Amino acid sequence: MTPVADATDARPRRKARSVASQIFIAGALVVAGALGLVFMLTATRARTVADRSLGLELNTTRIAIEAALEQRLTSLQRLAAGLTAVPTYYSRFEAALTARDLPSFLDQAEEYRDQLDAAWVMLLDQRGTLAAWSLHPERSGEDFSGGRLVVRALGGEVASGAWLEPGEGGDQVFQTIAVPMRPPGGGAIAGALIAALAVDTRTAATLRRQTGSEIVLALIDSARVAHVAASTMPAGDTAALERAFTSRTADGHVEVSDFIGAASPLVTAGGDTVGLLVGLRSRAQALAMVDPLRSSTFVAFAAGLLLALGAGLLISRRIAAPLRALVRATRGARQGDYAVTLPGNAPREIGELADAFHALLDDLKAKEELVAVMQHDRKGRVTTTSPASRLANGEIFANRYQIVDLIGVGGMGAVYRALDKELGETVALKTLRTEELRQDETSLDRFREEIRLARRITHRNVVRTHDLGIVGDLYYLTMELVEGRPLDDLIAQEGQLPIGAVQSIGVQMLRALEAAHEVGVVHRDIKPPNLLLDASGLLKVTDFGIARLVNETLGKRKFTSTGMIIGSPAYMAPEQLAGDPVDARADVYAAGAVLYECLTGKGPHDDLTLQQIFARSVNDAPALDPTALRPDLPAAMAAVVRGALAPRPDRRFASASEMLAALEAVSVRGTGTMRPPSLATSAN
């Protein structure tokens, strides 16, 4: 036969990244994204700051260019006005005007040009007719009276404006001023003087030195298209400059390649723009001012990213290492190896997972030991009951239950396997024979109330009680059927049980008591015969609800001639034996007595009389120590037993939950990891 592969191994496995790599990648992406966003925002902010700074510089450049041009005109105007007021110069002008002497006019014009350091000078008569022009000596008699510059000068004003003059090498632009010519003492205007300063490459170079910007002179033709006439910029794409100047914004800003510029128009006296002086700044140079910030930001980004990656790697490894250890431990546990030690320096959540896994291993080890003990050969105990009281196999009881066989006999009655013919289920039927119960109606009412309370307990470690009834002189209970054996049978067979098996028994017993106490039910008769174990090691507590009956009939019990206690009183707390009110701590005491017997093979009071037990309680004697009979017992386990068996209730565990927590903390692979606060006093 071909062996069948393990179903777990047969499942397809998909390749997945490890937890460490996922944490590392996720952390790296988050940090890189955050740092990248900060870097981009910083870079954008730096560029914005640079652009604003550049805009301020351009405005400053434009103001400086316009101020420089205005200063040239102002100086020229003042000097020209002063020269025209010199009597000698005016007399020569007046004489040449009267004689219509062109050579004299030319000499006068050149004299003015030299004195004003101008590019050229033009002299006009009172009608605006050209008398002489130093730029064009051959020209005279032309009518210039229609020009706005001339009109204003002949009207007595000092005027200025740009002048575009064609030439052999192309058009040239000038700054011009016009001043009226009148007698020094005052009188009618005899003509006008127009002086011009060239705006050319030299002007651009001067402005570049003054402003620190590149200067470009562009002339505007009649089609409003710009043409570069002079430039301080390195040789480049002149056509690109001309396109940028032609498409300049309304506020005069232009952009070309890496440069941004601000244009100052050259306007004629009539308001026509004939040229542009553009100051250009390099964006790269402006950004260079913030480059240290961008560089430091990039360095900080790279350093932060490296630190984050390193931290992410360390954190991912710190998280992944204990997880890998948990995986190895899990695989070992599947093979029966429970002796594992997990890292203790893991993060809190991983540490909690490791603690939970340790507890799981303890439970598995304890359950394994208990199952191993349950699998030992059992020497069944022979139980007998009188023929008169025994129900026969096959008998129909209470018109409902068909007796299958006898399971066992106890001090209060017998337990049968029975078939509930109404529900078609197999149940455990327990018969109770007590003269006191039949004679005392109050006891019966309390008994019924206890059964009703017991039916409220729902827990996997509790035998469910179904029904209560009476047939003839027999009271009976029907309960969940447990296919197992009582704990006293196991103790009688094994003697001292393995520590892991005892822990499993105790944990399951205390979980059942915890569930019962939560609904207000105190068992009052916890003892090995009332603890049933099935083959898988599952423990169930039975007989919830009938313990009050046991207590009320305790006074009628018989004792041996030597005064030794027999039956349930061996597991009862001192206050319960004394007839005092009891609470959950009475069950805690009984649970401690059961653990004591499981560990030592003997009951805690096997060698004591009832009077001696009372004396221990009155004298507040130390709690019984199981290590006296079992020296190899772990200290934590012994402390739990002592904490439960304290004679005084206030020295015991306060609840089954507290005792359960202490017992679960005991490691069957070593010593316990914690002790409850109450043990400090109960162990004394």
Do 340 and 329 form a contact (C-beta atoms < 8 A)? yes
- Chain-centroid distance, C-alpha 119: 77
Q: Which residues of 280-303 are buried (b: 16+ CB within 10 A; e: fewer)?
A: bbbbeebbeebeeebeebeeebee
Q: Which of 337, 676, 370 is nearest to 506 (CA)?
A: 370
- Among 125, 525, 543, 587, the one annotated catalytic: 525
State the helix-helix crossing angle for 584-600 and 499-518, rounded to 10 degrees. Answer: 170
Closest CA to 76 of 185, 161, 148: 161
What is the length of the chain? 684
What is d(CA 549, CA 116) in angstroms, rounded to the nearest whole number?
Answer: 138
CA–CA separation, 123 vs 105, rounded Å?
Answer: 7
CB atoms within 10 A of CB 607: 9
Tokens found for residue 139 = 């020209």
Tokens of 168: 């052999």
- Cα separation, 65 vs 176, in Å, equals 16
C-beta of residue 214 within 8 angstroms of C-beta of residue 62: no
**Count of CB atoms situated within 10 Å of the CB of 609:** 15
From the number of C-beta atoms within 10 Å of its C-beta (0-12, 13-18, 19+), residue 380 rates as: exposed
For the chain, how are helix, strand and coil distributed in percent, rounded to 5? 45, 20, 35
Tokens of 465: 């009680």
To the nearest 10 degrees (0 to 180), the angle between helices 87-99 and 19-84 is 70
d(CA 645, CA 663): 14
405 labelled catalytic: no
N-terminal to C-terminal alpha carbon distance within the chain: 64
What's 400's DSSP letter? T
Strand, helix or coil for residue 564: strand
Is 519:457 a contact under the CB 8 Å cutoff?
Answer: yes
Among residues 318, 321, 346, the alpha carbon closest in space to that of 27 is found at: 318
Positions marked catalytic: 525
